[in-house]
Amino acid sequence: MATSSDVSPAPKKKSLLEKAVALASGPHGLWLLAVVSFAEASFFPIPPDPILAAVVLARRDRVWTAAVVCTVASVLGGLFGYAIGYGLYEVAGKAVIEFYHLQEAFHSFQERFAEWGGWIIIAKGFTPIPFKLVTIASGVAELDLGVFTLSSIVTRGARFLLVAWLFHAFGPQAKAIISRYRVQVLIVGTLVVLGGFAAFAFM
């Protein structure tokens, strides 16, 4: 008669994020990174940062290639999110916002557009908040497309270059560094991006 000690526990199912990270370490990591980066900027729940980290750790010689792929795909996905907000909000955009329970954050973000414009995209795009909220809200507010695109390139590029550099420089320990000093990293990163962009804008 089998006892409880003879029964092996059922294997734990991997989450979608865990599966994606595992795939990112393989030969098609850059393609997966591009797809996730594009989709996350408009409707998908998985952030590209863990995928970017997995690609960098698997192929350290691809660190800057991975950061650029992540940035370009995220900006293109952001333009798709902008289009959803601009022309398809009632059909699709509203459903995305409600699905992720972002209604309150969405309305708060919209209210800041009048005062900050593209600067709010740069600041928010560098933080952990879902970028889809930023892109869809930008479309609804009909923010100037050139300002939106430039702001997205600045904030997404800075964020992903920083993440790629951290994992390239510190390896797996970078995860602990980001987790422990998350607030400090975000504050410093945001200030650097805003300061650099302001200096460039007023040169």
Q: What is the pLDDT of residues 123-152, one digit of tens each?
A: 777 777 788 888 998 888 888 899 899 989
The angle that helices 49-58 and 145-170 make with each other, rounded to 10 degrees, is 40
Domain total of the chain: 1
Residue 190 lies in a domain: yes
pLDDT band per the 50, 70, 90 thresholds, residue 64: very high
For residue 17, pLDDT over 50 is answered with yes
Closest CA to 179 of 123, 128, 124: 128
Q: Does pLDDT of 42 surpass 50?
A: yes
Domain range for 81 is 18-201
Name the least confident of 42-51, 67-76, 116-125: 116-125
What does the pLDDT read at residue 178?
Answer: 61
Would you list the DSSP string of 48-77?
SHHHHHHHHHH-GGGHHHHHHHHHHHHHHH
In a domain, 109, yes or no: yes
* Token representation of residue 76: 């293109």
pLDDT tens digit sequence for 90-121: 888 888 888 878 788 787 777 777 667 677 78
Whether 49 has a pLDDT exceeding 60, the answer reads yes
Identify whether 4 is part of a domain. no
For residue 53, tell me if it sits in a domain: yes
Whether residue 98 is contained in a domain is answered as yes
Is 7 within a domain? no
Q: Is residue 10 part of a domain?
A: no
Burial bucket for residue 58 (CB in 10 Å: 0-12, 13-18, 19+): middle
pLDDT for res 28: 83
Residue 8 located in a structural domain: no
What pLDDT does residue 168 have? 86
Q: pLDDT band for position 83 (50/70/90)?
A: very high
Query: In terms of C-beta density within 10 A (0-12 exposed, 13-18 middle, 19 or more buried), how is residue 10 classed?
Result: exposed
Instruction: Compute the mean pLDDT over every residue in the chain, rounded to the nearest whole number.
Output: 78
How many CB atoms within 10 Å of residue 154?
22
Angle, alpha carbons 54-58-62 (nearest 5°) = 95
pLDDT for the residue numbered 103: 81
Confidence tier at 40 by pLDDT (50, 70, 90): very high
